[in-house]
Chain A
Amino acid sequence: AQSVTQPDIHITVSEGASLELRCNYSYGATPYLFWYVQSPGQGLQLLLKYFSGDTLVQGIKGFEAEFKRSQSSFNLRKPSVHWSDAAEYFCAVGTLNTNAGKSTFGDGTTLTVKP
């Protein structure tokens, strides 16, 4: 069965600093990988996704992520964090399931942005 690990429960960065959120997955085949963001009191919104091809994917709000098969990782990055990026971030792996597109989610990383 697939699994996702987000090693950092909580990260604090200063506004304008760079950000990297870690995600490691376990899956026996080619993974379908996602990053979602959840602002306080809201549902999750897709930031970006990796299906195949270029291992560096660009997403919304200036985020990018890099798929590294050798490290089973899909880390999320942003070169300069804005105060509005404070939120909870979830990494997810999608399954090849012909009945439904289930995803397994990590436990999330909460990002705090200092002024």
Chain B
Amino acid sequence: DVKVTQSSRYLVKRTGEKVFLECVQDMDHENMFWYRQDPGLGLRLIYFSYDVKMKEKGDIPEGYSVSREKKERFSLILESASTNQTSMYLCASSLFMDRGWNEQFFGPGTRLTVL
């Protein structure tokens, strides 16, 4: 089974702190994604990566950056956390399929609270 793990299930940080959310997948997937999930807003894509050191902005990249130094690991960085970044963060990975057959495998999520 594909396994996607996230470094923390719950995280509490203070406004202005630098926050790192880590995601690791064990199935050699090319694609990795970071979403945030808020009630009534569904899943919104923050960033995705299709290869090591390659990244593209999603729909809501402002206030976030990412890093992918190794294929299995994709980090989400909040440079200066703000209260409006309190949310559930979901990481996902998928195998590269140039015809779009691209089901995603999700981690359990990190619930981040910024005080």
Binding site for B on A (CB under 8 A): 9, 32, 34, 36, 41-46, 49, 51, 90, 94-103, 105-108
Cα A45 to Cα B106 with chains together (Å) = 7
Asked if B100 and A32 sit within 8 Å, CB to CB, the answer is yes
Asked if B98 and A98 sit within 8 Å, CB to CB, the answer is yes
Asked if A49 and B90 sit within 8 Å, CB to CB, the answer is no
* Besides the known contacts A51-B101, A99-B50, A101-B97, 11 further A-B residue pairs in the complex with CB atoms under 8 A apart: A44-B92, A44-B104, A46-B103, A46-B104, A49-B101, A100-B31, A100-B48, A100-B49, A100-B50, A100-B94, A101-B31
Cα A108 to Cα B38 with chains together (Å) = 11
Partner of B100, one of A45, A101, A105: A101
Cα A99 to Cα B32 with chains together (Å) = 11
Q: Count A-B contacts at CB 8 Å.
A: 75
Binding site for A on B (CB under 8 A): 4, 30-31, 33, 40-43, 45, 48-50, 56, 90, 92, 94-109
Could you tell me the distance in whole angstroms from the C-beta of A5 to the nearest C-beta in chain B?
11
User: Nearest residue in A to B102 (C-beta to C-beta)?
Assistant: A101
Interface of A is mostly: loop
Asked if B103 and A34 sit within 8 Å, CB to CB, the answer is yes
Cα A44 to Cα B48 with chains together (Å) = 17
Report chain B residues within 8 Å CB of A108.
42
Asked if B102 and A94 sit within 8 Å, CB to CB, the answer is yes
Cα A111 to Cα B61 with chains together (Å) = 30
Asked if B43 and A105 sit within 8 Å, CB to CB, the answer is yes
Asked if B42 and A105 sit within 8 Å, CB to CB, the answer is yes
Could you tell me the distance in whole angstroms from the C-beta of A101 to the nearest C-beta in chain B?
2
